[in-house]
């Protein structure tokens, strides 16, 4: 397979919003590989909120610009570089954010360098665009529920944000492991969230969530997963901190319950990704695509992402011919 020296890629030129700082460039060098990295011809790349947050917030002395943004990809290995892969392998995975700070080279490009340890063979029962939207969010949900919170079969979990991509995979993974799931979302997404398997639904637009939950007089949940986080628009910071206070911080002597909590940061781990891929191959969890965009239309895709209203993943067809 012949690899060109330059490629078409989106570049982040300065600190700001996608509309302000993203531009397409047809003459970006194809990345060179370090030991342990493979070169992937990107078929599809999915957007993640962390990318526009980094774009708008991380100063130049930490992250050198211009750089190629984004983390998730599905594509074909074109230089296996002595790794476990061979040329032509169909893979998916994601690039962690901190390493991208050191050697910035993201997935919104025709070619991406990726640590071989961060890739596995893609499930072939789903499309390229569906595959691209799985790794980062499904791994976040998987690691949060099972590696950090140690959720077990027969236990219950509350997913705050059942229609976020992280929340949607958390619901599916919890149900696939025999757990009871309650989830919040706005009323328009009730059918979507219940369709993923949620046993109980709470509309967060009807009132402060902690009051709704207290009034519902529910048994205690074994795990409470916060899958919303700071949202780009319409984020109710007061409501968020009230929820954080009630659910995570309020000490027992002020009426809080006993619980431990962790802020998690998804970690690249080939074994976990392999497990996620197996769930998909076995049909136990399904990909969730909100919308797909042509490579040239990435700015429109970011508009959709920063609306905060996507239900599932926003995926860019880097190769226009992929399904």
Ligand X SMILES: NC(=O)c1ccc[n+]([C@@H]2O[C@H](COP(=O)([O-])OP(=O)(O)OC[C@H]3O[C@@H](n4cnc5c(N)ncnc54)[C@H](OP(=O)(O)O)[C@@H]3O)[C@@H](O)[C@H]2O)c1
User: Does position 17 bind ligand X by CB under 6 A?
Assistant: no
CB atoms within 10 A of CB 63: 18
- Residue-level length of the chain: 323
User: Does position 230 bind ligand X by CB under 6 A?
Assistant: yes
Near ligand X by CB under 6 A: residue from 145, 165, 280, 315: 165
Near ligand X by CB under 6 A: residue from 225, 227, 273, 280: 227
CB of 315 to ligand X, least distance (A): 12
Q: Is it true that the peptide bond before 212 is cis, omega within 30 degrees of 0? A: no
Q: Which is nearer to ligand X, 33 or 299 (CB)?
A: 299
Distance CA 249, CA 112 (A): 41
Stretch that binds ligand X, among 63-71, 122-130, 227-235, 293-301 (CB under 6 A): 227-235
The two tokens of residue 69 are 């943004």
The two tokens of residue 45 are 């790349």
Dump the DSSP string for 135-193: HHHHHHHHIIIIIIS---TT-EEEEE-TTSHHHHHHHHHHHHTT-EEEEEE-GGGHHHH
Q: Which is nearer to ligand X, 111 or 293 (CB)?
A: 293
CB of 55 to ligand X, least distance (A): 13
171 CB-side CA count, 13 A: 30
Q: Which is nearer to ligand X, 39 or 100 (CB)?
A: 100
Closest residue to bound ligand X by CB:
229
The two tokens of residue 151 are 């959720």
User: Does position 307 bind ligand X by CB under 6 A?
Assistant: no
CB of 264 to ligand X, least distance (A): 5
Dihedrals φ, ψ of 188, to 5°? -65, -20
Beginning with the edge strand found earlier in the chain, give each strand of the sheet holding 200-203 in spatial order: 200-203, 180-185, 156-160, 223-226
Q: Which of residues 100-139 bind ligand X (CB under 6 A)?
A: 136-137
Near ligand X by CB under 6 A: residue from 148, 190, 308, 319: 308
Residues 31-60: x where in contact with ligand X by CB under 6 A, - otherwise, as a string: -----------------xxx----------
Distance CA 42, CA 9 (A): 11
User: Does position 204 bind ligand X by CB under 6 A?
Assistant: yes
Near ligand X by CB under 6 A: residue from 21, 74, 118, 166: 166
- For residue 62, is it left (φ>0), alpha (ψ between -120 and 50) or beta? alpha
CB of 4 to ligand X, least distance (A): 32
Q: Which of residues 251-270 bind ligand X (CB under 6 A)?
A: 264-266
Q: Which is nearer to ligand X, 8 or 210 (CB)?
A: 210
Near ligand X by CB under 6 A: residue from 41, 110, 189, 268: 189
Distance of CA 107 to the CA centre of its chain: 13
State whether residue 216 is helix, strand or coil: helix
Near ligand X by CB under 6 A: residue from 56, 66, 208, 229: 229
User: Does position 306 bind ligand X by CB under 6 A?
Assistant: no
Q: Which residues make up the interface to ligand X (CB under 6 A)? A: 48-50, 136-137, 140, 161, 163-166, 184-186, 189, 204, 227-231, 264-266, 308-311
């Amino acid at each position: 397979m012949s690899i060109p020296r330059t490629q078409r890629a989106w570049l982040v030129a300065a600190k700001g919003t996608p509309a302000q700082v993203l531009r397409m460039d047809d003459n970006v060098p194809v990345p060179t590989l370090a030991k342990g990295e493979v070169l992937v011809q990107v078929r599809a790349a999915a957007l993640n909120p962390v990318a526009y947050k980094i774009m708008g917030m991380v100063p130049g002395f930490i992250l050198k610009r211009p750089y190629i943004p984004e983390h998730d990809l599905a594509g074909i290995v074109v230089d296996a570089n002595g790794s476990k892969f061979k040329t032509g392998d169909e893979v998916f995975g994601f690039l962690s954010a901190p390493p991208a700070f050191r050697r910035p080279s993201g997935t919104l490009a025709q070619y991406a360098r990726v640590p071989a340890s961060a890739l596995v063979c893609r499930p072939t029962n789903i499309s390229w665009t569906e595959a691209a939207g799985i790794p980062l969010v499904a791994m976040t949900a998987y690691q949060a529920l099972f590696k950090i919170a140690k959720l077990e079969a027969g236990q219950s979990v509350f997913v705050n944000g059942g229609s976020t991509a992280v929340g949607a995979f958390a619901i599916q993974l919890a149900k696939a492991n025999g757990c009871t799931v309650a989830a919040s979302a706005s009323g328009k997404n009730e059918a979507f969230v219940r369709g993923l398997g949620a046993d109980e639904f709470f509309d967060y637009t009807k009132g402060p969530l902690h009051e709704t939950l207290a009034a519902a007089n529910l048994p205690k949940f074994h795990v409470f997963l916060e899958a919303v986080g700071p949202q780009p628009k319409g984020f109710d910071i007061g409501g968020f901190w009230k929820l954080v206070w009630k659910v995570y911080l309020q000490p027992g002597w002020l009426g809080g319950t006993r619980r431990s909590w962790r802020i998690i940061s998804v970690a690249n781990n080939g074994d976990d990704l392999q497990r996620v891929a197996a769930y998909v191959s076995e049909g136990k969890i399904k990909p969730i695509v909100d919308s797909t965009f042509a490579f040239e239309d990435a700015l429109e895709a970011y508009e959709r992402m920063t609306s905060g209203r996507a239900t599932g993943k926003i995926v860019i067809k880097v190769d226009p011919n992929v399904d």
